[in-house]
Structure 1
Amino acid sequence: MARPRVFDVDKAVETATDLFWRNGYEATSLADLTAAMGITPPSFYYAFSSKYGLFKRVLEHYTTTRLSYAEDALNQPTARDVAEQTLLRLVDLYTDPTRPPGCLIMNNALPCNENSTPLHRELAGSRAARRARLCDRLIRAQTDGDLPADCDPDGLAGLILVVGWGLAFAAQSGATRDDLQRTVATALKAWPS
């Protein structure tokens, strides 16, 4: 009969979130993970199947606990408010002093070609899905007359995401919250009126 698990899986996922966010997927070893979680490799494999299995749990955790705040900006009343709140909420996330700087997803997307591993394909799919949600919201704004008929909702969704990714890299490189907020204000000057 299998022994019951003697560690808190949610706490282990939170610990792994910090490690992957700080070090990246490639640079975080099984030894790093098990040492930080205080578990043995057999317990690790029993709970998560693999490092990739754990990382998928980390992504779910990060998406529901961190990115949901930025994702909720899609509910803002105007398209400009959606863009502004998405970016400002990302600034808050990327500069939270209790977390590593930048974005867990972007910190893990860079080390190799996005199509080289299942992990990178999944991260690319996540970025594409986020762009599609933004685009759908902006199309709705255009249909409602909140955006000019001649603007490009997909291009605007791309602008929001590219600025957001740039904010993540800037935060990781030491930019302050004030620096990033000024960047958002400058980027929003390009928003169609």
Structure 2
Amino acid sequence: MSPRVSAAVARQTRASIVARAVATASVTGLEGLTIGRLATDLGISKSGLLGHFGTKEALQLAVLDAAGEIFWREVWEPVAATPAGLPRFRAVALSWLSYLERDVFPGGCLFVTAAIEFDDRPGPVRDAVLGYATRWQRELLWQLHRATDAGQLSPDTDPEQVVFELTGLVLTTHQALRLRRDPQAPRRARQALERLLAQAASC
């Protein structure tokens, strides 16, 4: 086997491991990932699997990177062409709710699970989770600032408060869907979103 083919096979194997790990971690959490279980699921040896990452922490970070790409593709890209400001903020918020409703990850949003697991555990994994959350919040805030500058929202609007309430709405929806299996959760969430935006526009 040529070095080029060997490298391509290694990349494909690594991608398969990460894809399986993402699906597993959304259900069991990042700490629930075990080298043994993944190796068994994929039909490879533990040493062969570990050779692609070196440590469990490196595997967890690779899972977060892959989950971040999925989140961006599922939530942001479908509405990226929406005009900036309030229209895009609203579209992104609805897309975020749709992402939860469509069960993109089999166990719900992996980032919600990871935030609960690592919020009080300093280290690279917590830093990565916080980094994704911070970048997402920054993007939402940017759209609200654009909306205020364009006169789409009242100049008295507090963007930080709007994002805070939207995040709370998303987390409540996640729990209602995953824990209570509430079929009315998406409808209630969209109603709450429209109320939030109407209030911001009239402040």
- Place the TM-score, normalised by the shorter chain, in its bin: 0.7 to 0.9
Find the counterpart in structure 2 of residue 103 from structure 1.
109
> What count of residue pairs does the alignment treat as equivalent?
191
Structure 1 distance, partners of 2:15, 2:41, is: 14
Q: How far is 1:75 from its partner?
A: 4.8
Residue number among 15, 30, 37 corresponding to 1:25 in the alignment: 30
Residue number among 131, 147, 163 corresponding to 2:153 in the alignment: 147
Q: How far is 1:16 from its partner?
A: 0.7
The AA in structure 1 aligned to 2:123 is T
Quick one: structure 1 residues 80 and 101, their matched pair in 2 at CA, closer, same or farther if it must change by over 3 Å? farther
Residue 77 of structure 1 aligns to a residue in which SS? Answer: coil
Q: Which segments of 5 or more consecutive residues in structure 1 lack a partner in the other structure?
A: none
Find the counterpart in structure 2 of residue 38 from structure 1.
43
After the TM superposition, which parts of structure 1 deviate over 4 Å for at least 4 consecutive aligned residues? 4-7
Alignment of 1:41-190 (within 5 A): 41-72=46-77, 73=79, 75-77=81-83, 79-96=85-102, 99-176=105-182, 178-190=184-196
The AA in structure 2 aligned to 1:158 is F
TM-score by length of 2: 0.80
Q: How far is 1:83 from its partner?
A: 4.0
Structure 1 distance, partners of 2:46, 2:189, is: 44
Residue 111 of structure 1 aligns to a residue in which SS? Answer: helix
TM-score by length of 1: 0.83
Specify which structure has the higher proportion of helix.
2
2:119–2:126 Cα contact (<8 Å) kept: yes
Q: How far is 1:189 from its partner?
A: 0.6
Identical columns (%): 17
